[in-house]
């Protein structure tokens, strides 16, 4: 009897987790797409005030581009940039579009952190570590593309799937991080509740 009651509680908790995860992922991913439309000139819901004063998407783009250019320069290439492009002299022109920002990955990760039942301190730590990891990987991707496409000029046409490769690498890293996080938090929960 007690075992079936525990199983029902576990099933209810798992279902609640999935519902929260899907809800928050949809909210964040679609919210970011909507805000991109609000902040992009020519977007369906463009608002000049918001675009000029609250454009977090351009802010994210800038904090990805600037360090990537620094890294490219460390490899001895001359690179210049504007608000959306990185141009490596005698190398590639890299356009950092909305899809390059990793907001979909960040939306999933944030939704998971919110939905997973754990203490607030552990959630906050996971959130900070995960966001830094996603950011560093994305800067590395942009810089890596700039450097690799300079070294291997003849292979420029073969780097068309870098978004997919980046997403796969980031999701693998996120799932490893989440696995370790869940394992640690599940172990600490079972230690505090030995009768379960």
What average pLDDT does this structure show over 44-65?
93
Q: What tens digit of pLDDT does each residue of 13-44 get?
A: 889 999 999 999 999 999 999 999 999 888 88
- What pLDDT score does 188 carry? 56
Distance, in Å, from the CA atom of 68 to the CA atom of 80, rounded to the nearest integer, reads: 11
- The long-range contacts involving 72-78, CB below 8 angstroms and separated by at least 24 positions, are 72/143, 72/146, 72/147, 72/150, 75/147, 75/150, 77/146, 77/147, 77/150
> Which pLDDT tens digit goes with each residue over 104-123?
999 999 999 999 988 899 99
- Helix, strand, or coil (residue 95): strand
- Cα–Cα dist 102/87, whole Å: 20
Q: Where are the domains of the chain?
A: 55-192
How many CB atoms neighbour CB 135 within 10 A? 16
Rounded Cα gap, residues 130 and 106, in angstroms: 9
Q: Residue 80: enclosing H or E segment and its boundaries?
A: strand 79-81
147-165 pLDDT, tens digit per residue, is 988 887 776 666 677 778 8
Quote the pTM value: 0.84
Other Cβ atoms closer than 10 A to 22: 12
Yes or no: say if 159 and 92 are a contact pair by the CB < 8 Å rule.
no
Q: Which of the residue ranges 125-129, 176-180, 183-187 has the most confident prediction, judged by mean pLDDT?
A: 125-129
3-state secondary structure of 162: helix
């Amino acid at each position: 009897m007690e075992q079936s009651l525990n199983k029902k509680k576990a099933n209810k908790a798992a279902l609640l987790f999935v519902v929260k995860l899907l809800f928050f992922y949809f909210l964040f991913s679609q919210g970011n797409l909507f805000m991109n439309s609000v902040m992009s000139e020519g977007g369906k819901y463009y608002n000049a005030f918001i675009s000029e004063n609250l454009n977090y998407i351009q802010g994210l783009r800038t904090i990805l581009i600037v360090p990537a250019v620094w890294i490219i320069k460390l490899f001895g290439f001359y690179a210049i940039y504007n608000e959306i492009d990185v141009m490596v002299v005698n190398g590639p022109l890299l356009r950092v579009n909305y899809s390059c920002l990793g907001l979909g990955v960040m939306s999933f990760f944030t939704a998971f952190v919110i939905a997973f039942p754990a203490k607030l301190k552990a959630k906050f730590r996971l959130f900070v570590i995960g966001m830094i990891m996603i950011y560093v990987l994305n800067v590395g991707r942009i810089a890596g593309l700039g450097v690799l496409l300079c070294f291997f000029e003849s292979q420029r046409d073969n780097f068309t799937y870098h978004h997919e490769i980046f997403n796969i690498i980031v999701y693998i890293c996120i799932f490893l991080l989440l696995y370790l996080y869940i394992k640690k938090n599940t172990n600490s929960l079972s230690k505090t509740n030995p009768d379960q």
